[in-house]
A and B are shown apart, each in its own frame.
Chain A
Amino acid sequence: MSAEKINLTLKVWRQKNSEAAGALATYTLRDISTDMSFLEMLDVLNEQLLLTGEEPVAFDHDCREGICGMCGAVVNGRPHGPERETTLCQLHMRHFKSGDTLVIEPFRARAFRVVRDLVVDRTAFDAIIQAGGYVSVNVGGAPDANALPISQKNAEQAMDAAACIGCGACVAACPNAAAMLFVSGKVSQLALLPQGHPERRERALNMVKAMDGQGFGNCTNERECEAACPKAISIRHIARLNREYLKAALSGD
């Protein structure tokens, strides 16, 4: 770890609230340590703005270790920036060079309203889960956990699908602002596990319906979502979602 110092030009989306018009503002930053994370770089910018009487840039973040799904912005056209399988909070400045210009914008989609600057409203994702992303089981009376053996392969694949952090990069990356990768993660997880089978049909139908209702676009196999996903969720899950949906639609009562 030998840290260098770099100088950067930032062009950051500034928008006071959902109704206001937004625009890019330009700032320069000097002596940024390459050991900093991207969000720590934004902290430095904000400290600088604050002390010069300007409003800091609003951005969502919390865990800063790539798991809560709060952070996210489009950096030079790429959700979460240039590194694969990396959330913005885990991106480090050693991936940039002195003199670089970084254009930083919010995750844009019809279903994601801008709250302020880089903060967007992603509650549409919650609405989709509420439509069926669960197993209907109340607390109490669950059988012994080992009563239901599940093959290691299925458990691992279900875990691959369940690794989604709900950040919305897939939507921001998609030219149609579709949420198929997000929806497929949950549908796939529960289709791979026996616990999910009783409600399989309704789940696929209801979650897809909710997705459409929230204003997400259609999937046209652009595969941008997979490339942008910080958790490497595969579009194979979209294939499984499509199968689940078709089976459900064909077996309609």
Chain B
Amino acid sequence: MKLDANIPPGPLAEKWQQHCFSSRLITPANKRKYTIIVVGSGLAGASAAASLAELGYKVNCFTMHDSPRRAHSIAAQGGINAAKNYQNDGDSVYRLFYDTIKGGDFRAREANVYRLAQLSNNIIDQCVAQGVPFAREYGGQLANRSFGGAQVSRTFYARGQTGQQLLLGAYSSLARQIKRGRVTMLARREMLDLVVEEGRATGIVVRNLITGELESHAGHAVVLATGGYGNVFYLSTNAMGSNVTAAFRAYKRGACFANPCFVQIHPTCIPVHGDYQSKLTLMSESLRNDGRVWVPATPGDKRPPHQIPEAERHYYLEEKYPSFGNLVPRDVASRNAKEQCDRGKGVGATGLAVYLDFSEAIRRDGSETITRKYGNLFQMYEKITASDPMATPMMIYPAVHYTMGGLWVDYNLMSTIPGLFVLGEANFSDHGANRLGASALMQGLADGYFVVPATIAHYLAQCPRQPLSTASDAFVAAQREAEGFIRRLVALKGRRSVDDFHKELGRLLWDHCGMARNQQGLEKALARIPEIRAEFWENALVSGSGAEFNQTLEKAGRVADYLEFAELMVHDALARRESCGCHLREESQTAEHEALRDDARYSHVAAWQYQGEAEPLLHKEPLAFADVEVSSRSYK
């Protein structure tokens, strides 16, 4: 297989426009003859489904949730980037592009990222037109804040609920199309397989989560927007249901999986506090605008924070990175927190936490301003920890948050299976080895509102329009396989809960494929994962049957996929013997513990192809940089 990214020719700034111009179109009258399946209704899926329906396509949209409004995008707090330069602080499309490429440690495609920066401005316009209540200045203009990895203020926000408001905007556009009969919404359906006929994606198999029935659905193209796989670690900031199932089944049907080991570990999360813990809560990166990160200067200092005098505090980020200070990118902030804790300077009961302190900002701006900016986040923190950040510094620690890896897609967002498009966090496209804050929302909406509506026509126009049917052998076989999978799961009547397996897998990955990785640890994980999987298939305990609403069964299916997928992640981490962005190979670091890239050997996207029982096959898409100078990333 040869990976062709299909990057259009021409100067970087003109590629997208030229590409749209030279792509084939479908007339409005013909569009309604096409049915498009959209799986997922988060920011990426809902925006795609609504936009495709507006264009005239018939859309069938699926979500495992009871409503599109529940998708995990709802939880995004901090904001969304755009190169509007409303602050007149020197921002531009090029700067947003450059920051994103550099933030991703030069492991993303130039052409995709440039397009993203260009479209960022249209997104804000669109969202405002929908009635998204972004924060405003006194004069009525839109307000901005800063996020890590940038020296300009380009992040638009709606209090600490930006994801919610953007998703509700996309959801409202989707609702309008549902009402008009252009979108059929199929909720509480979980995708269990992709159907491929004559090399093209032509449909999906889903399980109706209420009745347990399996259903096959055919379409002229399939759009996957099923989110990220951070929950493979069990504990993460993702919602409980976030899964790799849909993407992984597509991988098993031939879609390459790119950079699976690129997982973002977010520096500011509420630390773990007990074994029963089911998830970790993010404290938005926007807090680093005003919060100062510190630890006691002396290892083992157990005094409460207010008893530690200024001179005995170590503001390690400000000291080490004077130009970006507390706003270094996430991977850098996370790694430094771990390093301080490894040196015994961690705080709190477990020693696995650092302080995020607002006292100076409160003194400077007054408590009213700080409450207005962060009130709801502080409230959330207080609910969980019973401690008030206005009075005592927050305690934070890194946690798994976002997956830069995902299904490989070309410039058109099409995977290696023709007719299968992948959007949002489920693809690998724009963030390289580290995503900058406030750019996932931007990417999901760019993909859904603007990119796929333009690129899908070119695909559809090229292939003959077949009548839709789910009677073919491929559909029958896929549905039968899904049935077999469910049957095998409900037959599991062992002695260990599915959660228990998931926790063990998560701990293994956190230890060996988390913030720091090395050959030995990765090999250990690679040996252990198949053992956990084997035990799962013997000793897991799944209650109830397949023919009913059964949450234990749902969970079991997702964990079964994670148990296979984890191995792919570790393979990828092993093969990339360099450090870049989130991926720190201990064998490859500078004297100051910064990631040391090896551009000569690893300036590529690693795309893995499924090989059945055999080891997956690695394909490399070389990355070429013509418009930026590839430098070693410095935030000092």
A193 and B131 contacting across the interface, CB-CB below 8 Å: yes
Q: Say yes or no for A56: interface residue by CB 8 A criterion.
A: yes
Decide yes or no: A122 and B67 within 8 Å by CB, A63-B75, A115-B210, A143-B125 being known contacts.
Answer: yes
Contact check: which of B159, B175, B279, B497 meets A133 at CB < 8 Å? Answer: B175
Residue of A nearest to B173 (CB): A134
Whether B544 pairs with A119 at a CB distance below 8 angstroms is no
Other-chain residue from A63, A90, A119, A135 in contact with B239 (beta carbon distance below 8 A): A63
Task: Tell which of A55, A138, A151 has the most Cβ of chain B within 10 Å.
Answer: A138
Set of chain A residues within 8 Å of B84, measured between Cβ atoms: 145-146
Residues on the B chain within 8 Å of A139, using CB: 47, 50-51, 54, 126, 173, 449-450, 453
Could you tell me which residues of chain B, from 206 to 251, have a CB within 8 Å of some CB in chain A?
210, 239-241
Q: Mark A49-75, 1 if CB is under 8 A from B, else 0.
A: 011001110101111111111100000
> Are the C-beta atoms of B168 and A50 separated by less than 8 Å?
no
CB distance from B69 to the nearest CB of A (A): 6
**How many A residues have CB within 8 A of the partner chain?**
76
The residue on B at minimum CB distance from A59 is: B551
Considering residues B187, B241, B551, which has the most beta carbons from chain A within 10 angstroms of its beta carbon?
Answer: B551
> What 1/0 mask marks residues of chain B from 135 to 153 whose CB sits below 8 Å from any chain A CB?
1111111100000000000
* Bound: A138/B459 CA distance, A: 23
List chain A residues, Cβ under 8 A from B131.
Answer: 134-135, 158, 189-190, 193, 195-196
Inter-chain contact B75/A70, CB cutoff 8 Å: no
Name the distance in Å between A131's Cβ and chain B's nearest Cβ: 7
Q: Which of B65, B158, B168, B495 has the most CB of A within 10 A?
A: B168
Cβ 8 A contact of B136, one of A1, A69, A70, A152: A152
User: Is A28 interfacial (CB 8 A cutoff)?
Assistant: no
Contacts of A156 in B (CB 8 A): 136
| Cα distance, A159 to B372, chains bound together (Å) | 13
B-chain residues with CB within 8 Å of residue A143 when the two chains form the complex: 125, 129
Nearest Cβ distance between residue B270 and chain A, in whole angstroms? 10
Within residues 95 to 136 of chain B, which ones have a CB less than 8 A from any CB in chain A? 122, 124-131, 133-136
Check: A123 CB closer than 8 A to any chain B CB.
yes
A8 close to chain B: CB less than 8 A: no
Say whether A62 contacts B72, CB under 8 Å: yes
The reply on B161 being an interface residue by CB < 8 A is: yes
Q: Which of A90, A94, A145 is B128 in contact with, Cβ under 8 Å?
A: A145
State whether the Cβ of B172 lies closer than 8 Å to any Cβ in chain A: yes
Chain A residues whose CB sits within 8 angstroms of the CB of B138 once the complex forms: 152
The size bracket of the interface on B is: 35 or more
Instruction: List chain A residues, Cβ under 8 A from B277.
Output: 40
Report the bound CA distance from A63 to B281 in whole Å: 9
Which of A35, A119, A135 makes the CB contact (< 8 A) with B129? A135
State whether A62 and B128 are in contact (beta carbons under 8 Å apart), knowing that A50-B541, A56-B552, A135-B172 are contacts in the complex.
Answer: no
Contact assessment for A51 and B541 in the assembled complex, using a CB-CB cutoff below 8 Å: yes
Is A142 interfacial (CB-CB < 8 Å)? yes
A82 within 8 A of B: no
Asked whether any CB of chain A lies closer than 8 Å to the CB of B273, the reply is: yes
Contact A33 B274 (CB under 8 A): yes
Q: Given that A50-B552, A149-B139 are contacting pairs, would A90 and B384 also be in contact in the complex, using a CB cutoff of 8 Å?
A: yes
Assuming the A-B contacts A58-B549, A150-B136, A159-B133, are A145 and B125 also in contact, with contact meaning beta carbons closer than 8 angstroms in the complex?
A: yes
| A253: interface (CB < 8 Å) | no
A-B contact number at CB 8 A: 211
* Given A1-B349, A67-B161, A115-B549, A155 and B239 contact (CB-CB distance below 8 Å): no
**Chain A CB within 8 A of B314 CB:** no
Per-position contact with A for B479-510: 1 when CB-CB < 8 Å, else 0? 00000000000000001010100000000000
A90 to B279, CA, bound (A): 12
Residue A103 at the chain B interface, CB threshold 8 Å: no
A166 adjacent to chain B (CB < 8 Å): yes
Q: Which of B178, B274, B383: most chain A Cβ within 10 A?
A: B383
* A68 and B74 form a contact (CB under 8 A): yes
Interchain CA distance A196-B132 in the complex, whole Å = 11
A36 at the B interface (CB under 8 A): yes
- Residues of A with C-beta under 8 A to B278: 37, 39-40, 43, 64
Is A137 in the interface zone, CB < 8 Å from B? yes
The answer to the question of A86 belonging to the interface, with a C-beta cut-off of 8 Å to chain B, is yes
Q: How far apart are B228's CB and chain A's nearest CB, in angstroms?
A: 14
User: In the complex the two chains form, is A67's CB within 8 Å of B137's CB?
Assistant: no
Q: Is the CB of B130 within 8 A of A135?
A: yes
User: Which of B47, B140, B142, B239 makes the CB contact (< 8 A) with A64?
Assistant: B239
Chain A residue contacts of B159, Cβ below 8 A = 159
A130–B72 touching, CB < 8 Å: no
Per the 8 Å Cβ criterion, residues 237-287 of B in contact with A are 239-241, 273-274, 276-279, 281-282
Inter-chain contact A47/B499, CB cutoff 8 Å: yes
Min distance, Cβ B442 to any Cβ of chain A, angstroms: 14
Q: State in angstroms the CA–CA spacing of A92 and B384 once bound together.
A: 7
Is residue A4 contacting chain B, with contact meaning CB distance below 8 A?
Answer: no
Asked if A146 and B179 sit within 8 Å, CB to CB, the answer is no
Q: How far is the CA of A62 from the CA of B42 in the complex (A)?
A: 13
- Complex Cα–Cα for A122 and B65 (A): 11
- Let me know if A64 and B240 touch, CB within 8 A: yes
In the complex, which residues 272-304 of chain B have their Cβ closer than 8 Å to any Cβ of chain A?
Answer: 273-274, 276-279, 281-282
User: Which residue of the partner chain, among B141, B164, B543, contacts A55 with CB atoms under 8 Å?
Assistant: B543
- With contacts A50-B497, A155-B135, A195-B129 known, is A94 near B386, CB below 8 A? yes
Complex-state Cα separation, A144 to B123, whole angstroms: 10
Instruction: Tell me which residues across on chain A come within 8 A of B68, comparing CB atoms.
Output: 126
In the complex formed, the residue of B with least CB distance to A34 is B386
Given A142-B125, A155-B136, A195-B130, verify A136-B176 contact (CB < 8 Å).
yes
Shortest Cβ distance from B185 into A: residue: A126
Contact (A65, B281) CB under 8 Å given A145-B125, A195-B129: yes
Residues of A within 8 A of B (CB): 1, 3, 16-17, 33, 35-37, 39-40, 43-44, 47, 50-51, 54-56, 58, 60-70, 85-86, 90, 92, 94, 115-116, 119, 121-123, 125-126, 129-131, 133-139, 142-146, 148-152, 155-156, 158-159, 162-163, 165-166, 189-190, 193, 195-196
Ordered by A's residue number, 13 sampled pairs between the chains whose C-beta atoms are within 8 Å are A50-B543, A54-B543, A61-B240, A62-B65, A64-B239, A67-B164, A85-B379, A86-B383, A130-B178, A139-B50, A139-B453, A162-B133, A162-B158
18 new A-B pairs (CB below 8 Å) besides A1-B273, A51-B541? A33-B274, A47-B497, A51-B495, A54-B543, A65-B282, A66-B383, A115-B549, A126-B68, A129-B172, A133-B175, A136-B176, A139-B51, A139-B449, A145-B134, A149-B141, A155-B133, A162-B133, A165-B164
CB-CB nearest 3 A-B residue pairs = A149-B140, A134-B172, A142-B129
